[in-house]
Structure formats: C-alpha cells, structure tokens
Amino acid sequence: EPEVTQTPSHQVTQMGQEVILRCVPISNHLYFYWYRQILGQKVEFLVSFYNNEISEKSEIFDDQFSVERPDGSNFTLKIRSTKLEDSAMYFCASRPGDRSDEQYFGPGTRLTVT
Amino acid sequence: AQKITQTQPGMFVQEKEAVTLDCTYDTSDPSYGLFWYKQPSSGEMIFLIYQGSYDQQNATEGRYSLNFQKARKSANLVISASQLGDSAMYFCAMREGRVTDKLIFGTGTRLQVFP
C-alpha cells in the first residue's frame, strides 16, 4: 500500500542552524501539508501546498519557514534559523484530490534543537 | 472556543470489549469533515476513519465506526473487539468548510487496552 515517507526520522540541530525536512508524498496525490506536534501537545497545521504554491498557512508559519516541491516527488520544509521552540515532531501529509478529504500522514521527523 | 473537544484524557478497556472515544466539534459551517487518527507510541499518525457532514450514514472501517450525531455536534469513535495493539493516542480532527482543507485537531485520548 502506498504511503507517505519522511526523512530523516530524527534530526538534531543547534539553535540558529538551517534544517530541511524531506517528504515523499503518495504518488498521484495533489495536495500536500506540513503539521507539527510539540511533545505532549496536539497536532498543529503549518501549511498546505497545491499546484506548486502555498494555498494556506498558519500563524506559526512565519518567514523562517518555507516549503518547496523541487521535483515531481519530494516536498520539503525548510526552517532557516532554528529556535529551541521549533523542537517538535513534524508530519508531512498528502491528499489525493478534490473528491477525497482524507489526509494521509507520514511517520514524522522528530526535530530537536539544542 | 475549542473547535474540537476530546474530554477523555485517558480510557481503559479490556481486550475484546468495545470502547467509545468522545469527540465534540464546534462549527457554523454546514460543510465539514471529521477524522480520527491513531498515534501509537512510535509516533506516526494513522488515518482511521472519515465522516463528511453530508453523509447520511455513519462511517465504518472494519472494527472502527463513527457515531455521528449532527444535532449534538458529536463524532464519537467506537472501537469494537479491542485488541492490545489498539493501545495508543487517538485524535479527532475537523476540516471546517470548503475553502480550507487544514485539519484542526483535538487534544487526544490515550487508550489503554488490558488483557
């Protein structure tokens, strides 16, 4: 069964460093998302992406964040200058298309900022 | 006001018994979708079941069913014949309206299944 994959599974970085989290959505899915979950808290929406552009973003998704679909399969989240409070599990998700609401999540990348 | 409320921080159920996890939602938009996800201790988010606001029948997926009571704005997850592997966090989520497709999550319920 096709699934969303994410790499790396765990990333440790120093405050102020740039990180890129990678996702490969399910092929033929058209809508892509990033969510995050700070330890012990609920999942929060960051950004949605469709047709090579951001369709919606939350207040969390400030200028430090960017997303890109560099080729036909990868979908990346970049954090330019990480802060301690960026430590969280980051989930990528994808959705097939307009007739389907289900979002399928990847296994997540645990980001630890020291 | 919270858009998604899960009032049970933790639930216990014996193996093979059924359990209901509560979820209430708050929206004035007539078009919305309700989701349940399972998060095992390993951390991944597993999609379980979906209910659209216009769906006439309650959604079912194997041992999972969604008890959708529109007037009460509740979308409880029922797990029948619980298994030890069902022990996990369970999150209710909502997509509100047709303009957005972001999911709004509740705080989750930790389910523990005991033998």
B57-96 per-position pLDDT tens digit: 999 999 999 999 999 999 999 999 999 999 999 999 999 9
pLDDT, tens digit, for every residue of A31-71? 999 999 999 888 999 999 999 999 999 999 999 999 999 88
| Contact (CB, 8 A) for B12 and B114 | yes
Cis check: omega of the bond before A8, within 30 degrees of 0: yes
Residues of B (24-43) whose Cβ lies below 8 Å from A: 33, 35, 37, 42-43
Mean pLDDT of chain B: 95
Angle subtended at Cα B89 by Cα B85 and Cα B90, rounded to the nearest 5 degrees: 100
| Contact (CB<8Å) B108/A33 | no
Contact A45 B50 (CB under 8 A): no
B97 or A10: which carries more pLDDT confidence?
A10
Q: Give the model's confidence band at A100: pLDDT under 50 very low, under 70 low, under 90 confident, else very high.
A: confident
Residue listed under structure tokens 């509560």: B22
DSSP, collapsed to helix, strand or coil, labels residue A90 as: strand
CB pair distance less than 8 Å for B105 and A43: yes
Give the phi and the psi of residue B56 in degrees, each rounded to 5.
-80, -30
pLDDT at B47: 93
Give the pLDDT of residue A99: 73
Residue B19 scores a pLDDT above 90: yes
